[in-house]
Amino acid sequence: MDLFEAITKRHSYRGAFLETPVPREHLTRIVEAGLKAPSGKNCQTTTFVIVDEPALVRDIGAMNKNSKAMQTAGAFIACIVNDPHVPVVGDISFEIEDCSAAVENILLATTAMGYATVWIDGWLRGEDRAEKIGRLLKLPAGKKIRIILPIGVPAEQAAPPPKKPFSSRAWYNSYGG
């Protein structure tokens, strides 16, 4: 699939996944796409834990009773950042931006390879969920899960939601051009 087709087809998939395993070679290739993302001052602070051990996948998935995607995922990719964030320029850190750029590459690679996923961030912030999953994944002190991505073969084919037209969100030379 070409890049622009992957961009067009990518969407947040919240449905159930088939019980088809995601091969490690595919997970590696998907995460390598994330590792190739740009990072502030090329510090490359974003790291990942790929979860494909079935019992661990089930334990993490069971934590979110409201998410079919999490409950039925074939694997998870956890995006890890420093906590607290490490400043790069003065007191400015780019870790959230770096993690986001890496995850966007992962989202596109996932789509291009025929899998689906959904970016889960807000759910992690409540009830110490990021910390609980971090303990399951044996994160060292000073590291935190910022985003988790359930990945699998979608059980349903869904179209991406419509996007607003270019003319209502982008202009040349002045806002609202």
What would the pLDDT profile of 13-68 be if each residue is shown by its tens digit?
999 999 999 999 999 999 999 999 999 999 999 999 999 999 999 999 999 999 99
Average pLDDT over residues 98-125: 98
Which pTM value belongs to this model? 0.95
| Pairing status of strand 75-82 against strand 116-117 | unpaired
| Cβ pair 60, 134 in contact under 8 A | no
Phi, psi of 79 (to 5 degrees): -95, 120
The residue assigned the tokens 């040349």 is 172
Q: Pick the closest to residue 149 from 127, 121, 112 (CA basis).
A: 121
Is the pLDDT reported for residue 74 higher than 90?
yes
3-state secondary structure of 89: strand
Is pLDDT of 177 > 90?
Answer: no
Q: What does the block give as tokens for 78?
A: 């956890």
> How does the average pLDDT of the chain come out, rounded?
96
Q: Decide: helix, strand or coil at residue 3.
A: helix
Q: Residue 158 — very low, low, confident or very high, per pLDDT cuts 50/70/90?
A: confident
Check residue 26 and give its pLDDT. 98
Spell out where 16-175 has E strands.
Answer: 47-51, 75-82, 116-117, 143-152
pLDDT at 171: 96
Residue-level pLDDT at 33: 98
Domains of the chain plus CATH, in order, are 3-169 (3.40.109.10)
Distance CA 61, CA 70 (A): 4
